[in-house]
Structure 1
Amino acid sequence: MESQLAFLAICLASAASPGPGGLAVVSNSINHNLRRTLPVIFGIATGLMLASLLANTWLLAVIHSSEQAFQIMTWLCSGYIAYLGCKALYYSNSTMTIAAQGYSFKNGVLISLLNPKTLVFFGALFPMFVPSNEHFVAYAVMLTIELVAITLIIHVLISSAIDKVSHVLKNHIVLINRITGLLFIGLGVSGFMF
């Protein structure tokens, strides 16, 4: 139960933290409205599902080939997640720039699917939360559905509230980047402990 709550917390932090998908949602929401932002939100969710399928197919092959390969892959991915946290802290004083162009469903899919961090994210998270046994597929599907559902909810909430909070977000982007960085560093370090 504790690992499930930890995974849900990580999903919430990931969906709410700045990244390519969140930037597309914010940009589209500022320049358009929720109705015109829904296609990109559903595209991001579709891209996450496709990325999960690709990552977990590869991961399943690694699990069945070698326990040592699985452990090395977990350490590499955990190191990359910690690196992303360090990078977020390093750039925490930077301001977020928002493109004025609109995004479509196709753009949302590509944002999720072609972002190498997405596959690494699945590769780093799933080894920590999915047992390497015959229930791997069921756990991977459940965790993917949870991640996609949380991402959809967070993106819809962000899009619908962006007009009211855009000035607050701009004033607190440094704090948001620092919190995100610390969460990812903690996640990366925890990957080395298990």
Structure 2
Amino acid sequence: MTFTAWLSLFAVCCLGAMSPGPSLAVVLKQTVGNSRQHGLAASWFHAAGVGLWAFATISGLAILVAQSEIAFKVITWLGAGYLAWIGLKAIRAGRASSFSVNPGDKTSVLKAGIEGATISVLNPKLAIFFIALFSQFVSPDATIADQMIMTATATLVDGLWYSVVTLVLSHGPILKTLQNRSQLVNRLTGGILIALAARVVTL
């Protein structure tokens, strides 16, 4: 892979990572409600899920998902159900939620990471995105090194972007303001997640 081709790949991955969606809502939820470490765990576990989709696409597994209507629908509904479940929990929790700063109410860092990973793993549209993306860069003579570079680029861009989001949210007055309005943040985040879940199953 040439450096010019990699720059094009990098730019598209950045745009994909920066697109608002359920991933941002989950990172926000973990960072504001628990800690910077929880937000970073959600970010990098999410990136690992993105890396799995990228690798699956390159190895040809994601093509099967894209061509199988049943497999696509199953994963889509699982993902939508998970989004709706998280959204309902956030709305019902109010101020005594995962956004609370009370250490006794915090979830574990591992659970925060698993939540981040689940959001990406149960998102079949990542398969479609990567099929469209990598089809522009994968060629019959592509080496294993090229494939690893593409997978690593998608993974690192995603992880680094959400790490930046986490660090900004967890810095000083921004986090304090969000924590003071935790109930509003809960309701907004929950509403966004439920709306995204509804959008997934109605498209």
Q: One fold, TM greater than 0.5?
A: yes
Structure 1 or 2, whichever has the larger Rg, is: 2
Could you say what the CA RMSD is over the residues aligned between the two structures, in angstroms? 3.1
The aligned residue for residue 109 of structure 1 is 117
Q: Distance in 2 between matches of 1:142 and 1:165?
A: 35
Give the corresponding residue for 2:169.
Answer: 162
Alignment partners' CA distance in 1, 2:147 and 2:124:
19
Q: Look up the match of 1:149.
A: 156
4+ residue stretches of structure 1 with deviation over 3 A? 59-62, 98-103, 163-167
Q: Does 1:129 align with 2:132?
A: no
TM-score scaled to structure 1, two decimals? 0.58
Compute the TM-score of the two structures, normalised by the length of structure 2. 0.56
Q: What percent identity do the matched residue pairs reach?
A: 24
- In the TM superposition, what whole-angstrom CA distance separates every residue of 1:141-176 from its partner, at most 9, and x where no partner exists? 101101111111111110010256688xx9xxxxxx
Question: What residue in structure 2 maps to residue 138 of structure 1?
Answer: 145
- The more displaced of 53-62 and 151-160 is 53-62
- Give yes or no for contact 2:30–2:112 (8 Å, CA) kept in 1: no
| Structure 1 CA distance for aligned equivalents of residues 21 and 4 of structure 2 | 27
Deviation readout 1:39-92 (Å, 9 max, x if unpaired): 212211221122122222226989xxxxxxxxxx9xxxxxxxxxxxxxxxxxxx
**Contact 1:11–1:150, Cα closer than 8 Å, also in 2:** yes
Q: Which runs of 5+ in 2 are unaligned?
A: 68-88, 91-96, 99-106, 178-184, 186-203
| 2:36 is aligned with 1:34 | yes
Cα distance between partner residues in 2 of 1:19 and 1:139: 29
- 2:63 and 2:131 in contact (8 A); partners too: no
- In structure 1, distance between residues paired with 2:125 and 2:143: 22
The aligned length equals: 134
Q: Deviations over 1:81-136 (max 9, x none)?
A: xxxxxxxxxxxxxxxxx946466222222211110111111111001122x22325
Deviates more, 1:50-59 or 1:20-29: 50-59
* Unaligned runs of at least 5 residues, structure 1: 63-72, 74-97, 171-194
Letter in 1 for 2:7: L
